[in-house]
């Protein structure tokens, strides 16, 4: 009688209950599913590494939810609806069952909240830090995926939610700044994917803000061959972020997972009404300009702000 190594028992115990249609109970080499009729598929993958994308001591259920939510945020940026996901989990050999139980519980919570299920994945050991990846699948009406390259000169620059909480939340989670009500750390640990906000016909271009507002706005400008001018004072900050008072960090820090959107002036009224129906605060922060790929941030005195860094980089 052959026995199964522990990874198979763990997959059966913790992940099989999360499996949805097509996952074949996670018992086969791959998942098989029929794409939704008449829809295009949208797919993205992200990696998360302990000590880089999350703190080694972060609760496994929050790590799982952040992994799923950062990928859902990519679907939100494209105007897509969630369908399913695959995840690979590489952890030290001594990782206890409780870690897997908590990780799976986090996925279960967000599967219920966002309406998707696991299709497959892999579970391996690593001699290094916990290393995760997640591939997310979504769907969108043909031709209605929102891209980064559709912004035009004169379109307004809008963002969802508040900017900078994620970067400040990292400092709070590290105990480097005060966070009396825990709001900032919560925003770092549990981003809110803005699904349903970006919709074709209302939005010219969109992306999610993951590496810092200024850097990401630069990416959108390069893709659209336009420039951008934003008013620092108009960038929405939470009350908690205002209390910290580090505007430059808010403008350049990562981990917001809010949407950055290009809205044609003629669509602003309809877009704001749509955002209201979704219950998402949206704020105009500037305008796209002719100055190709140049992002200008105007400070309180009307002069261009000089920001120390353009945003997060893995390799500088």
x/- string (CB under 8 A) for its own copies, residues 211-230? Answer: x--xx-xxx--xx-------
Quick one: which H or E segment has residue 139?
A: strand 131-140
Rounded least distance, CB 73 to its own copies, Å? 8
Applying CB under 8 A, does 200 fall inside the site for its own copies?
Answer: no
Q: If you write DSSP's letter for every residue of 258-280 in order, what string do you get?
A: EEEEEE-GGGHHHHHHHHHHHT-
Comparison of 49 and 177: residue with beta carbon closer to its own copies? 49
Q: Candidates 131-139, 242-250, 264-272, 276-284 — which segment interacts with its own copies by CB under 8 A?
A: 131-139
Applying CB under 8 A, does 179 fall inside the site for its own copies?
Answer: no
Q: Which parts of 19-38 interact with its own copies (CB under 8 A)?
A: 24, 27-35
Q: Which parts of 83-102 interact with its own copies (CB under 8 A)?
A: 86-90, 93, 95
C-alpha 174: how far from its chain's center?
Answer: 21
Burial string for 137-164 (b: 16+ CB within 10 Å, else e) reads: bbbbeeeebbbbebbeeebbbbbbbbbb
Sheet holding 282-289, edge to edge: 205-209, 258-263, 156-160, 282-289, 227-231, 295-298
Applying CB under 8 A, does 174 fall inside the site for its own copies?
Answer: no
Q: Which parts of 287-306 interact with its own copies (CB under 8 A)?
A: 293-295
Q: Which parts of 40-79 interact with its own copies (CB under 8 A)?
A: 40-49, 51-53, 73-75, 77-78
Q: Candidates 102-110, 138-146, 170-178, 186-194 — which segment interacts with its own copies by CB under 8 A?
A: 138-146
Number of Cβ atoms within 10 Å of the Cβ of 53: 20
Residue with token string 């799982």: 64
Applying CB under 8 A, does 152 fall inside the site for its own copies?
Answer: no
Give the gyration radius of the chain's Cα atoms: 20
Rounded least distance, CB 50 to its own copies, Å? 8
């Amino acid at each position: 009688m052959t026995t199964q190594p522990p990874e198979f028992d763990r997959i059966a115990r913790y992940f099989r209950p999360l499996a949805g249609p097509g996952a074949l109970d996670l018992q086969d080499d791959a998942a098989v599913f029929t794409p939704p009729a008449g829809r295009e598929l949208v797919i993205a993958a992200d990696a998360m590494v302990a000590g880089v994308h999350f703190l080694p001591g972060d609760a496994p259920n929050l790590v799982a939810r952040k992994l799923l939510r950062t990928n859902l945020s990519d679907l939100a940026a494209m105007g897509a609806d969630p369908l399913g996901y695959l995840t690979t989990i590489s952890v030290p050999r001594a990782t206890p069952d409780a870690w897997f139980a908590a990780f799976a519980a986090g996925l279960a919570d967000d599967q219920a909240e966002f309406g998707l299920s696991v299709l497959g994945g892999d579970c391996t050991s690593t001699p290094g830090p916990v290393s995760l990846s997640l591939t997310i699948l979504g769907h969108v009406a043909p031709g209605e995926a929102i891209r980064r390259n559709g912004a035009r000169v004169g379109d307004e620059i809008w963002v969802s939610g508040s900017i900078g909480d994620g970067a400040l939340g990292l400092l709070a989670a590290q105990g480097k700044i005060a966070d009396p009500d825990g709001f900032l750390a919560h925003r770092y640990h549990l981003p809110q994917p803005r699904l349903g906000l970006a919709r074709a016909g209302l939005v010219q271009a969109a992306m999610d803000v993951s590496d810092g507002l200024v850097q990401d706005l630069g990416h959108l400008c390069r893709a659209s061959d336009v420039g951008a001018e934003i008013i620092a004072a108009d960038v929405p900050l939470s009350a908690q972020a205002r209390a910290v008072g580090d505007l430059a960090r808010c403008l350049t820090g990562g981990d917001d997972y809010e949407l950055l959107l290009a809205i044609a002036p003629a669509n602003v009224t309809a877009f704001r009404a749509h955002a209201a129906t979704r219950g998402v605060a949206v704020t105009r922060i500037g305008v796209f300009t002719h100055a190709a790929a140049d992002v200008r941030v105007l400070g309180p005195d009307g002069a261009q702000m000089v920001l120390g860094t353009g945003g997060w980089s893995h390799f500088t």
